Amino acid sequence: MFGSSFREITYTAPLPQPLEIDAFHRPGEGDWRVFVFTGTPSNKFIYQRFLRVAPPDLDVVVLTRPGFGRGHRAPVTDFDSQVAAIKPFLPKSHGGGEFGDKKIVTMGVSYGGELALKAALDFPDVVKGVVTVAALIDEPHDYALQLEKIGGINGIEPYVPNRWLKVRAEIAARRAQIGPLLDGLKSLSVPVEVLHGDFDSLVPRSNAETLMKVLPRGGANLEIVPGGTHYLELQYPRRVHRAIQRVIERAEA
């Protein structure tokens, strides 16, 4: 048990090669569950404050994404498998129900922003809204790209931590998948809240502006957070929760 409001759980994700996933689950008293797709590298521990300040009626799940869990040796680079990891938390009507039936909002941070949007396309009858936080839609800042390239220099790979190699694999593989995802978002019918800090040192705010151009007009709201860094869930967790609440209110309306 971590704190008084959430606990660590493990479950088996129904992937082509099933993986045991570890996650933090904060049970909520109400009808809604927010499922958080973390960035890369996936680290659920930085969401502990976000979990502790969650409204009591909101059910919250933050998982260690496939590829970064205990004993996961290889990266999982396809969006389909990453999104499939949420299936046990979906209603029984969609193959889930293990953790109770709830209405679903997906939230994605950085690289996870793409996955939260993909989940809304893959499960249109279940996912009722999306929140993106510092979503990686185009590319990171140039210096971050240069750091990524360092890991690919001939002869250096044996000295690069496996965790960083997985990050490089995810970032590289997303480039072939982002185009089809953006095309699909043009017909997205659920409400979306797009959050981005104006002091984000990893992902430029232009990524948020690109996303807003693709999403259907009137279906998405953009909030640029003054002084906001790449880690809004750490910096302003209650502000992020307010965005989740706005999505829920719009979905219910």
User: What's the predicted TM-score (pTM) here?
Assistant: 0.91
Whether 120 shows a pLDDT value over 80: the answer reads yes
- The fold for domain 7-248 equals Rossmann fold (3.40.50)
Asked if residues 201 and 229 have their Cβ atoms less than 8 Å apart, the reply is yes
Structural domain boundaries of the chain?
Answer: 7-248
pLDDT of the residue at 218 = 87
pLDDT of the residue at 3 = 40
Model confidence at 164, pLDDT cuts 50, 70, 90, reads: confident
Mean per-residue pLDDT for 117-130? Answer: 96
| Closest to 66 in 3D by CA, of 87, 92, 97 | 87
Q: How far apart are CA 24 and CA 69, in angstroms?
A: 12
pLDDT of the residue at 149 = 60
